[in-house]
């Protein structure tokens, strides 16, 4: 069982790496769309190619293998499903898969040169995976020792700090672009 658990963790890591980087590539592609030619065409072509390789070569396979190995781990210890912390963890994992599918929609739109989101909106979107990661890790490590109220307060506080950091980054970036 430890090998299966190790594989589950490995594919969680590669899945998150893919999710973090794919949205970064979305941001770069949106920003490249605002550049003059020929830079615009060259950059967009490269970002589309890199996004496609990452999405279908790493992120999707990792999401699928995470699900397979996670289900396999649960089949070894079915009593976990009766524990409250596992319901919360699986709820957050479900939200992570929803996030993944929404990223897939953004991916498909950008591949068709449909730009629905600004780079700033995508920067905020990029942090959703971070928030889910923090929630999942704390739930699975602390289990029942985690008070629901403190856990929720901590997650909300973490989210607020991330959003403030995004705003600060935007101000610094705008200041640097003006100088």
- Is pLDDT at 12 greater than 60 in this prediction? yes
C-alpha span between 77 and 60 (Å, rounded): 26
Would you tell me the crossing angle of helices 2-32 and 84-111 to the nearest 10 degrees? 40
For residue 63, what pLDDT is reported? Answer: 98
Number of domains within the chain: 1
Across 2-6, average pLDDT: 93
81 Cβ neighbours under 8 A, 6+ residues apart: 74
Collapsing DSSP to helix, strand or coil, 38 comes out as coil
- Written as six digits, the tokens of 115 are 């730009």
Q: Is 8 annotated as a binding residue?
A: yes
Confidence (pLDDT) at 117: 96
Res 79: pLDDT: 83
Per residue in 157-171, pLDDT (tens digit) is: 888 888 888 888 878
Cβ atoms of 83 and 24 closer than 8 Å: no
Q: What percent of the chain has pLDDT over 90?
A: 63
- Give 46's pLDDT tier (boundaries 50, 70, 90): very high
Neighbour tally for 31: CB within 10 Å: 14
Predicted local distance difference test score (pLDDT) of residue 25: 98
User: Is residue 175 a known part of a binding site?
Assistant: no
**pLDDT reported for residue 112:** 97
Domain that holds residue 164: 2-178
Average pLDDT, the chain: 90
Mean pLDDT within 20-34: 97
Contact 18, 54 (CB under 8 A): yes
Which pLDDT value is given to residue 169?
82
Tens of pLDDT along 90-149?
999 999 999 999 999 999 999 999 999 999 999 999 999 998 998 888 888 877 655 666
């Amino acid at each position: 069982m430890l090998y299966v658990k190790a594989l589950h963790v490995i594919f969680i890591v590669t899945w998150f790496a893919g999710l973090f980087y794919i949205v970064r590539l979305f941001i770069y592609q949106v920003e490249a769309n605002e550049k003059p030619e020929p830079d615009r065409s060259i950059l967009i072509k490269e970002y589309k190619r890199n996004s496609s390789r990452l999405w279908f070569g790493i992120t999707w396979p990792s999401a699928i293998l995470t699900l397979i190995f996670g289900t396999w781990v649960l089949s070894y210890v079915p009593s976990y499903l009766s524990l409250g912390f596992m319901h919360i963890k699986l709820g957050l994992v479900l939200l992570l898969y929803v996030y993944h599918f929404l990223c897939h929609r953004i991916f498909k739109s950008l591949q068709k040169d449909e730009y629905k989101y600004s780079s700033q909106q995508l920067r905020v979107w990029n942090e959703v995976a971070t928030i889910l990661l923090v929630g999942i890790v704390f739930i699975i490590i602390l289990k029942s020792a985690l008070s629901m109220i403190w856990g929720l307060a901590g997650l909300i506080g973490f989210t607020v700090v991330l959003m403030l950091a995004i705003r600060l980054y935007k101000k610094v970036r705008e200041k640097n672009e003006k100088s």
